[in-house]
A and B are shown apart, each in its own frame.
Chain A
Amino acid sequence: MTCPVTIRIQQDDFDIAREIAVLTQGRTDIGAVVSFSGICRGDEDSAKISALTLEHYPGMAEEEIRGHADEAVSRWPLDGVTVIHRVGRFMPGQNIVLVLTASQHRQAAFQAAEFLMDYLKTNAPFWKKEESATGTGWVEAHARDDEAAARWTRS
């Protein structure tokens, strides 16, 4: 079977159940779907966050995610991949990103979802700006995210 890959960057919210249904509809070969949701947190290092604004590089963001989705498909036996990344201004508790990976067995789905999220954080051109009581500021990249992505590098 082929592995459908869906990449979307949008302002609108997503419905996880609906996206899973789209991925598995009419298929009986899929035995596992892993879903990761990234949600706007209300605090960062004990500081209260009132809102988060996501900016992206249109064109490159889609291409970068697609490139990593294609790599995931070549590395694991996947039967479907969906990545939805929202852009705009979000309040704590709102959805930001969704990664779905479908496979016959759970291991490939878990690993591919983790691989996609690790690369999305460090390589996909998106930037977060935080609003808090003390003002607004761009979120700084974390070394731990680079380390998380580096472990997937094949020698």
Chain B
Amino acid sequence: MKVKYFAWVRERVGKAEETIEPPSTVRTVEELIAWLSGRSEAYAHAFEKPKVIRAAIDHAHVKSDAAIAGAREIAFFPPMTGG
């Protein structure tokens, strides 16, 4: 699946997007954040406060317990500040 990062999540991870293949034991957004956090210090820094991170699956806002099965694109970003 494709993962996209925005704002300071993107800056901390060090890339805007990538393709990942998490193991099948990673079933929810929350579990994906934990799995990503274990990849490197940069990811751990980006996701150090998981409750602050917002997620979207295929362009729709989701909660942290949302299932990631079948997702084409998952995005992680801070609370929005547009307008």
Contact = CB atoms under 8 A, between A and B. Distances in A.
Contacts of A129: 7
A55 B79 CA distance: 13
A127 B6 contact: yes
A127 B81 contact: yes
Contact of B82 (A63, A127, A138): A127
Interface size of A as a range: 20 to 34
Interface of A, helix, strand, loop or mixed by DSSP: mixed
A67 to B, nearest CB: 9
A121 B81 CA distance: 6
Interface size of B as a range: 10 to 19
A41 interface: no
Given A121-B81, A128-B82, 5 more contacts: A97-B83, A121-B80, A124-B82, A125-B80, A127-B82
A127 B4 contact: no
Contacts of B77: 57, 125, 127
Contacts of B78: 127, 138, 141
